[in-house]
A and B are shown apart, each in its own frame.
Chain A
Amino acid sequence: MAVELEDADRALLDGEHGEAAALAMRLVVKMAGVAQAPRLRDVTQAHIDSCLYHGQAGLDFAERLLAGGATVSVPATLNVSSLDLLHPDLVRLDDDTRDRAKRLMNAYVQMGCRPTWTCAPYQLPDRPGFGEHVAWAESNAIMFANSVLGARTNRYGDFIDICAAITGRVPDSGLHTDDGRRATLLLRLNGIPDALLEHDLMYAVLGYLLGRRAGSDVTAVEGLPSDTSEDRLKAIGAAAASSGAVALFHAIGVTPEASDVGAVLASGPREEEVTLADLRAARDELSRVPHGAEIGAVSVGTPHASETELRRLADLVGADRPRVPFYVNTGRAQLAGVGSVAADLSDAGVTVVTDTCTYITPVMHEIRGPVMTDSGKWAWYAPSNLGFEVALGSLEECVRSAATCRVVRDESVWGS
């Protein structure tokens, strides 16, 4: 099936807007063919993951686009990079890699992208609204945009993100369509105690389990409290988009498309239960360091901590100072937004990391022992990327553990 193109699309293909725009349009059209999309559609904005350095190929592509005169045609935010430009001494990369990472970042800024350097663009003021079509990359941001904001984006990867930003066009398929957003898996929480539903860590663990069960299915979750906060929904999404290929979940009675089950289910969905025992088992898969074990460090803020999370962390460490290295990752906009709280965090001994994240670039060093985190995503990737053993706990438990140098967890809320 051929993709139906508009005149403006053909003009781009024909090189009327330069070589880079023609290449970007060729790739968008190719992807439309892969998706069997009947046409392309406009997007209002993009979030670009391609700015994170993973080797020569990413740089070759960016510099090819730049040489071809690429500029973005819709507003585009930039994801985390490999460097912390505000705290340059934190990242311990060799000079050559640092230079290449910087070149890559500069290339995207030169194309007109905003140097936001955050994996949580949904925490910026101009985030997309309900029903708005966008082209977002970064797995956790994709999940949040679709699920929590009700915006519409497919699971865009590197390269196609900037192609969409240059052309302002994407294949009209998948999660951009009503049918593509219906849930083919329904997870019912069954017998989960209220105390656990009030425990932050439950949301990261549920997300991990959701990703494992869902694969790439749009998933509906029944049984979450109607006032589940954005930060908790963020924790679900980030973990699920790491352990699975899922790009949209509907929390029934919570997220904006899911007023009730009937509103979001496809016909004949798989239906499964999630029990307390399932959640406990999922937690123990991600968190292999037992209660009471010594820890070497704590890292929180994956995805980037919100202003609410930064303030809570400052309150907690103000009362209970860490005695092991303690890192929090956040966006530069969030850090600026909390004013003097940034100094409170530093005064309490917390290392604030911006523009990047502790699991993607060498920030943590001379750490002896396992690392504790409140993030299901960090717990998923850090053992591979950094070689650390990981303990999971809520933000409160991470702070308490850092103060005592040992894993402190409230096991009673998990029914054990």
Chain B
Amino acid sequence: MEGRILVEGHARGPALVLEEPLSFWGGLDPATGEIVEANHPQRGSVVTGTILVMPSGRGSSSSATVLAEAIRAGTAPAGIVLGEPDDIIVIGALVAEVLYSVRVPVLLTVPETLATVRDGDEIELT
């Protein structure tokens, strides 16, 4: 997939394509990897091991800690593809790498590329 690497790493997994932005804090349970945001169309989906394809992040500054905690707990996505830059997601992934030596790569792409990805497509980030 074409894009700019925001956080380096290697990941492979099935795409989970979010129909709406997600705030990890208040939106993702790091104990289970489940999307819990009340109004999210994909509430109940589990992000663990997926390549999480997001139009953008939103909401809380705490999303950085929630992502790092999910990475520590082994419930995080294997990689993340963003349609818009999101520093809060990036710093969460960078700190988890510092603390736990686990890399969850983050790729920034354009909405047109995002639109070609279907749920379940096998994606590799290198």
A contact set with B: CB distance below 8 Å: 23, 27, 30-31, 34-35, 49-50, 52, 54-58, 60-61, 64, 137-139, 142, 154-161, 211, 215-216, 241-245, 285, 381, 383-385
Contact = CB atoms under 8 A, between A and B. Distances in A.
Interface in B40-95: 55-66, 68-69, 71-73, 84-92, 94-95
Contacts of B56: 215-216, 245
Contacts of A142: 61
Contact of B65 (A30, A57, A211, A242): A57
B43 to A, nearest CB: 8
A176 to B, nearest CB: 12
A383 B40 CA distance: 11
Contacts of A58: 65, 68-69
Minimum-distance CB pairs A-B, first 3: A157-B88, A383-B38, A157-B64
A104 to B, nearest CB: 10
Given A57-B68, A245-B56, A245-B84, A137 B61 contact: yes
Contact of B69 (A34, A56, A64, A383): A56
Given A23-B98, A55-B69, 4 more contacts: A155-B61, A158-B91, A216-B84, A245-B57
B62 A54 contact: yes
A411 B21 CA distance: 31
Contacts of A383: 38-39
Contacts of A137: 61
A379 to B, nearest CB: 10
A160 B69 contact: no
A161 B63 CA distance: 13
Contact of A159 (B6, B58, B91): B91
B87 A157 contact: yes
A159 B95 contact: yes
B8 to A, nearest CB: 10
B69 A161 contact: no
Contacts of A57: 65, 68-69, 71-72, 95-96, 99
17 contacts: A31-B94, A49-B61, A50-B65, A52-B62, A54-B30, A55-B30, A55-B65, A156-B87, A157-B88, A159-B65, A159-B95, A160-B87, A215-B55, A245-B57, A245-B84, A245-B86, A384-B27
